[in-house]
């Protein structure tokens, strides 16, 4: 069974009625902009929550996804793997941040063994340790600052988009991340009842169907 979210579509789910396992085939909030919500709301994180809700509503007990998430720089030419950009600044992939409880699938067992080490590297390495790998921007932070904080400041400016696109391999090496995170398989077990309501809600938006 296929579930298409909004125009575009903004996401595509494939659900096996027999196993109740769901595969998130695509999630493209950034491509379609404000066509995903009828009130013009544009937020990829919110769209993930809608996709999870749609999976539960259609009986799924598990979501599987291959993390090929990426974003285009303003020049629409260079592309950044969002999983790795998020990881070197927060210690989590973008999907991990949006889907609490997300775990690497069985085929990514070797990667799972390394994740705790990489997370600790991201949280503990100073800019002085990371800057030599990317000497052209060594003056962007103080040596004693946490490297992830310096990179987070840079990430907030579109001026550095090309830098991240062209230097992600160097940045991974700087944090001791010896394998690619992009393209890995992840699984989320859906245990909450469909009708459960959150106590707080920052914003209510309606999906365009």
Model pLDDT for residues 144-191, shown as the tens digit of each residue = 899 999 999 999 888 889 899 999 999 999 999 999 999 999 999 997
Distance CA 82, CA 29 (A): 13
Distance CA 16, CA 201 (A): 31
pLDDT band at 42; cut points 50, 70, 90: low
Distance CA 181, CA 189 (A): 21
pLDDT band at 1; cut points 50, 70, 90: confident
pLDDT band at 76; cut points 50, 70, 90: low
| Range in 46-50, 110-114, 135-139 the model is least confident about | 135-139
Q: What is the pLDDT of residues 8-25, one digit of tens each?
A: 678 889 999 999 999 998
pTM for this model (two decimals) = 0.81
CA proximity to 64, closest of 107, 5, 24, 10: 24
* Confidence (pLDDT) at 37: 58
């Amino acid at each position: 069974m296929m579930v298409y979210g909004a125009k575009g579509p903004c996401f595509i789910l494939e659900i096996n009625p027999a196993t109740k396992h769901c595969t998130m085939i695509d999630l493209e909030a950034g491509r379609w902009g404000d066509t995903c919500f009828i009130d013009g709301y544009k937020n990829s994180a919110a769209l993930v929550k809608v996709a999870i809700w749609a999976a539960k509503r259609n009986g799924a007990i598990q979501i599987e996804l291959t993390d090929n998430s990426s974003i285009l720089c303003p020049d629409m030419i260079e592309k950044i793997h969002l999983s790795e950009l998020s990881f070197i600044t927060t210690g989590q992939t973008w999907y991990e941040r949006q889907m609490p409880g997300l775990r690497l699938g069985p085929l990514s067992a070797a990667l799972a063994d390394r994740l705790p080490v990489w997370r600790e590297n991201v949280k503990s390495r100073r800019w002085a340790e990371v800057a030599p790998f990317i000497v052209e921007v060594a003056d962007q932070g103080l040596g004693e600052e946490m490297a992830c904080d310096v990179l987070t400041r840079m990430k907030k400016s579109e001026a550095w988009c090309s830098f991240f696109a062209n230097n992600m391999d160097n940045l991974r090496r700087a944090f001791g991340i010896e394998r690619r995170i992009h393209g890995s398989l992840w699984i989320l077990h859906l245990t909450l009842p469909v009708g459960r309501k959150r106590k707080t809600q920052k914003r209510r938006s309606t999906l365009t169907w």
